[in-house]
Amino acid sequence: MMQALFQEKLQVLNVGLSSFAESVARAGGTVLQIDWAPPAQGHQTVCRELAQLVNLPAVEEANQKAFDAYLSAQPVLRGIGIAGKVLPNMAERMILHGGPPIAWENMCGPMQGAIVGAILYEGWAKNTTGAWALASGGEVVLEPCHHHAAVGPMAGVISPSMPVWMVVDATHGNQAFSNFNEGIGRVLRFGANSPDVIDRLKWIEKVLGPTLRAGVETLGELDLKTLMAQALHMGDEVHNRNVAASSLFLKRLISALLKTDTPSADIAAAVDFIAGNDHFFLNLSMTACKAMLDAAHGVPGSSMVTAMARNGVEFGIRVSGAGDQWFTTRAPVVDGLFFPGYTTADAAPDLGDSAITETAGLGGFAMAASPAIIKFVGGTPQDAIDNTTAMAHITLGRNGAFTLPAMNFAGSPAGIDIRKVVDTGIQPIINTGIAHREAGVGQIGAGITRAPLACFTQAVSALATAMRGSQ
The partner residues of 311 in beta bridges, in order of sequence, read: 351
Considering only residues 431 to 460 of the shown chain, the ones binding another protein according to CB under 8 A are 445-446
- Shortest Cβ 455–another protein spacing (Å): 18
Which position among 114, 331, 390, 439 is part of the footprint of another protein (CB under 8 A)?
Answer: 390
Site string for another protein, 312-351 (x = CB under 8 A): -------------------------xxxxx----------
Sign, CA dihedral 435-437-442-443, equals: negative
Say how far apart CA 143 and CA 104 lie, in whole Å.
10
- Binding of another protein at residue 35 (CB under 8 A)? yes
Q: Are strands 175-178 and 150-151 parallel, antiparallel or unpaired?
A: parallel
Within 137-194, where are the H helices?
Answer: none
59/291 with CB nearer another protein = 59
Please give the Cα distance from 247 to 279 (Å, whole number): 10
Least distance (Å) from another protein to the CB of residue 294?
28
| Least distance between another protein and beta carbon 370 (Å) | 10
Nearer to another protein, 254 or 454 (CB): 454
Interaction of residue 133 with another protein, rule CB under 8 A: no
372 φ/ψ angles, rounded to the nearest 5 degrees: -60, -30
Residue type, 62: A
Binding segment toward another protein, per CB under 8 A, in 220-228, 289-297, 327-335, 416-424 = 416-424
| Minimum distance of another protein from residue 382's CB (angstroms) | 5
9 or 126, CB closer to another protein?
A: 9
CA 411 to chain centre: 18
Give me the DSSP letters along 75-112. EEEEEEEEHHHHSTT--TTEEEESSS---GGG--HHHH
Minimum CB distance to another protein, residue 40 (Å): 9
CA distance 180 to 51: 44
List binders of another protein among 81-110 (CB under 8 A): none
Q: Which is nearer to another protein, 31 or 170 (CB)?
A: 31
Q: How far is CA 338 from CA 45, 335, 380, 441, in A?
A: 40, 9, 19, 13
- Segment near another protein (CB under 8 A); pick from 307-315, 324-332, 397-405, 423-431: 423-431
Q: What binding mask, one character per residue, do residues 5-24 give for another protein by CB under 8 A, x or -?
A: xx-xxxxxxxxxx-xxx-xx
Instruction: Count the alpha carbons within 13 Å of 223 in the hemisphere toward its beta carbon.
Output: 9
Candidates 39-47, 124-132, 222-230, 295-303: pick the segment binding another protein (CB under 8 A): 39-47
Strand 429-435 relative to strand 443-450, pairing: antiparallel
Residues 157-196 that bind another protein (CB under 8 A): 185
